[in-house]
Structure 1
Amino acid sequence: MSYTKKAKVESTSAVSLDRLSSLPPDIKVTILSKLNVLDAIRTTILSRAWRNMWTTSPKIIVSDLYGISDFSEGTTARSKFVTLVDLALLLHNGPLVSFSIRCLRIYHDVFDRWMHMLSRKKPRSITIKFLWGDYYKIPSSIFSVINLDYLHLKRCIIHLPQEFEGFKRLTVLNLKYFSSTDSDINNLISSCHLLNTLRLKYFEGISCLRIQAPHCSVYISPAKTEEAANWKNYLKQAFVSLTRIETLVIKRCIIGLPQEFEGFKQLTVLNLKYFSLTDRDIYKLISSCPWLNTLRLKYFEGISCLRIQAQTLQLLEVQGDFEDLHLHAPNLLYLTLGKTEAEQSDAVVGDKKNYLKQAFVSLTSIEELTISGSFLTYLSEGCLLAEFPGVFDRLRKICIEQCSWVWTEVLGACSIFWNAPNFRELEIRSFYRDEEFGYQPIWDNDQAEIEEPTLHHLVTVTISDFVGLEHEIALVGLLLRWSPALEELKIVREDGDVPNDECMFRALTKLLALPRASNKATIIVI
């Protein structure tokens, strides 16, 4: 490099460095607040103006990113990390807004010291995430930081000191993988008068959870233990004081409504997963939420007749073992239906009243429908190709999941197609059972015949997890024959389950030879 070029590079570097040094202090602090402590300390080499600037950052972010496989290297890295955290807490000068620590290693021997130093800084936000090892007991010094407005703890033991007076300003409490007692967790929650978001996930030691937080959005998921799997966590009286919450998420629980339950008058989102409830209680719970907008009920027991009356409901997802469905949701836009049991119940066959058919009366506003193959069988056996009381004029997209495409599922799908004259997009996820199943004739001549629908507005079709079996090819043939406006039929292969390449090659040959009602239809295989 010539002397002239070298001088020019040095001059440019000096100008850039001078620009960094001349930045206003508030901008420097903003930059430092985005960095973890190690990178913030490294800014001291930029210039004299940056030398002690990191100590004034309103946020301290420390993270142990080293592996744990090599013991000798890990010991050295651990020692350096301990020193780093000590220095960050000791040398910090000025108000501290937020402290966050995320660790892979074990620091039980220094944790109390760190928390004592942190409590003297009185931050407004604390996040402590330990990703491995035994739970850490939260020392009493943390409970003296009464000005906290955000607290997130992971892998910890919570035991309140006798002198604890509560977090008067706390708005968000997030606890995950923790252990506590009934009295401690209940006292902790009830002492946070401004709490608006509460998340309790994978906890132990709590048998009776009492939540007194009327303005709070609640997320509850007990521990993944044998006890929790058997739903021994029984929530009954917990709903009494939650009449003003807006979001409620509960997982792995038995729910029983008390007699004095008056409803959630401001609830907009209700999400229940792995739960048990009675017909009466689920109906009372849903109907007592006049502003309910989103409802998810997944993997439940104890409900045979599911009755849902929700005038403001826009999104509904149901996945469980039930017999009858009574549904009145005139403003519903997105619907997902699935059954964990494919067997047909007596309630929808024979001469008995078909409540499932009547459930579709109020769904004329629906725009997107997701339905499982087992539910299509359930649908077809109850109202075989009968016209629904309402027509889905606004339905634009249909998604069919876990479809093995036996004839009853085809019948159920046709029932939907006939009553959705304007839908434009179809997504199907195939379900492959065994190799022999695919080579047997699926649709025998003695199967019930159907009047083939014409899908005038169907433009795109996507079939995922395609294996190339005979019933899948037959399905593609039906869709090509029924869709005069079809432009694209995309097939996504399931490479992990393909019986062999020769089978797929034969399938592709058959696909290309299928007749098409649309001269614009293209088949794309990926």
Structure 2
Amino acid sequence: MERDLITNLPKTILHDILSRLPEKEAVRTSVLSKAWAETWSTFPILYFSDTKIIGTFPQPRQEFLRKRKNFIDHVRRTLMRFHDQGLAIKEFKLIINCFDLEYMSRDVDYWLKLASERCFGVLELCLPDGPEQDEEGQDRCYILPTGIIEAKSLHKLVLMGGIRVDQAFRNHSVKFFSLRVLSLWLVLLGDEQAIEHLISCCPLIESITLKCCSVLSRGGIGGLHESRTSRMKSISMLGLPKLKKVDVQGMQEVIVDAPGLEYFCFCPGGDVHAPYNINFDKCRNLKGLYLWSLKSSIINDKWFLDLFPKFPFLESLKFVNCTMSETINISSAQLKVLDLSNCSNLNEINIDAPNLLTFGYCGEGASKPIISFLKSSGQLEVNVLIHIDCMDLGNLREFIQNFKPQNVLTSLSLFIHQPIVDELNLDFLPVSSTPPSIKHLDLRSVPKNKTFYSRLVNGLLSSCCPATISLSLHSFFCSREFIEFFYETLTGRKEDECFCSSGHTKCWWHGLKGVKVSSSVKTDEKVDFKTMLEALPTFSPQENISFRLEL
């Protein structure tokens, strides 16, 4: 009998192995042997989610109450076992989506107390009903116990949902010497200064995420005091030498003075057309900038001219839903990643970035900017996502040819993911020249009406010649009938059914020697196409089937 060397490894190494496995796979190790069962029972990363026990709704009330009790008992028993046996807890993650906080608050208090006594380093707490969902949400928020923040071993704190960080934290004398990652989503704060005080007490903080947080404001009406929630409007992050990443959404003003900052993401809150102010000019080491929904000002050439000298190490630049000038010129020797997604007004983009590795563009079909790469790397990958239902399919070829120079198209991957309407007003016309060759075409959605199959395929394949084509295996996006039709079109088109307009111009179809089919799901490569298709899953949004054209 072969000796089991892995099982005899020290517990710390076995726990490290479990931490690198997907959760389902890690749980399955407990049935391998008694030793693995013991390893799993002492695994110091605890993750509890009520949805895994409750399941889907609707369901009978008595069944729901029974499952709720099972969940509460399961969490309590596990934490008591760790507490009684003196076992360490490195990470404690709790997600509650199905239960009323008013009912659960005492249990959560008790669980956090038990876990904190085992010196956890990571706390992730996700609760329902944040103040953004309810103007009076502060009455239903879970008030985080002060003792949790006092945990000296805590180096990562993630709070999401209906959680209130009380004003007492602002005056607390505890220094959070170990905290390196702070993430607050939809959290209610005691006042505007509470979070700034909290951050200022974290000298080792490296990452700060603040998304749509609110503050509790008090006012007097007729001599009576009442409280209400309002969106947090501003934040200043000063004197944080270790800070490398900042992600802020839902505020109008952000000031960051952190010389080591490498990544900054900003999305204003409330009315996106309202003025905003972001000041991170002193963060000279910035490498990544991600801006979302900047509508109140126009990003123009001057903006880019000022940007790159100010941040000489900037490598990644991404814009989503921003307002741009009609023509933009981007010139940078350091830039490696550039993404423009749903940015309005764009007619012309000129890019002088010899070290650019990835360019991404997403837009409505009606907006067809000319995109020119004045200098480009041989490793450049161009990824374009367009909304086909907003675009005349007959103009697809023109859209592709708007990329200059033409040799860039060999690195172009075209993604068509928006649902295609069953009203394609496209009369197929033979083409007078060979359509441009591109790297890849990903067609995520097709018409439900079979009579439009031919028009769609003709429109696509007369507009471009992809080296590979992929279709989704999820029946919501793409039917099996269309996949079969597409394959038969590729393999069975006759000479008189090609895209040639005359005998003088031969389309790429004449050079097609064969089609190689594969899928992201492992299958027997020796079986025929229909047998393979029948063996593939029907509802797999992440899986696809691919056709490689052999020219």
Equivalent residue number for residue 235 of structure 1: 253
2:64 to 71, 77, 87: 71
Q: Is the 8 A contact 2:389 2:420 kept in 1?
A: no
Q: How many residues align?
A: 445
- Whole-Å separation in 2 of the counterparts to 1:192 and 1:403: 49
Aligned mates of 1:118, 1:286 — CA distance in 2: 47
Q: 1:441 aligns with which of 420, 427, 440?
A: 427
Residue identity opposite 1:185 in structure 2: I
Q: Would the aligned equivalents of 1:196 and 1:216 in 2 still touch at CA under 8 Å?
A: yes
Counterpart residue number, 2:165: 158
User: Match of 2:320?
Assistant: 298
Aligned to 1:141: 147
Q: How does 1:91-240 map to 2 (within 5 A)?
A: 91-93=84-86, 96-104=89-97, 105-106=99-100, 107-130=104-127, 134-155=140-161, 156-159=163-166, 160-161=168-169, 162-180=171-189, 181-205=191-215, 206-212=232-238, 213-222=240-249, 233-236=251-254, 238-239=255-256
Query: How far apart are 1:497 and its partner, in Å?
Result: 7.6
**Contact (CA 8 Å) 1:186, 1:210: kept in 2 or not?**
yes
Q: CA deviation at 1:326?
A: 4.8
- Structure 2 Cα separation of the partners of residues 55 and 495 of structure 1: 40
Q: 1:264 and 1:219, CA in 2 relative to 1: closer, same or farther beyond 3 A?
A: closer
Q: Work out the CA distance in 2 between the residues paired with 1:90 and 1:169.
A: 23
- Cα distance change on mapping 1:303 and 1:199 into 2, 3 Å: farther
* 1:327 is aligned to 2:313: no
Is structure 2 residue 64 aligned with structure 1 residue 84? no
Q: CA deviation at 1:92?
A: 4.2
Q: Which residue of 1 aligns with 2:539?
A: none
Residues 425 and 328 of structure 1, relative CA distance in 2, 3 Å threshold: closer
Shift in Å, 1:490: 6.1
Asked if 1:369 corresponds to 2:353, the answer is no
Give the deviation of 1:98 after TM superposition: 3.6
Please state if 1:472 is matched with 2:452: no
Q: Return the offset for 1:333.
A: 2.2
Sequence identity, in percent?
A: 14
Unaligned runs of 5+ in 2: 131-139, 216-231, 499-508, 518-528, 530-544, 546-551
Residue among 452, 456, 472 paired with 2:433: 452
Distance 1:459 1:338 in 2: 17
Name the CA distance, whole Å, in 1 between partners of 2:363 and 2:379: 20
- The TM-score normalised by the length of structure 1 is 0.67
Shift of 1:126: 2.4
Displacement after TM superposition at 1:294 (Å) = 1.5
Contact kept? 1:422, 1:458, Cα under 8 Å: yes
RMSD, matched Cα: 4.9
Q: TM-score, normalization: structure 2?
A: 0.64
Distance in 2 separating the partners of 1:422 and 1:208: 44
Aligned to 1:388: none
Distance, in Å, in 2 between the alignment partners of 1:460 and 1:366 is 16
Worse overlay, 308-317 or 272-281: 272-281
Aligned-residue offset at 1:508:
6.0
Match of 1:394 in 2: none
SS of 2:362's partner is: strand
> Partner residue of 2:510?
517
Q: Greater Rg, structure 1 or structure 2?
A: 1
Aligned residues of 1:282 and 1:306 also touching (Cα < 8 A):
no
Q: 2:380 is matched by which residue type in structure 1? A: E
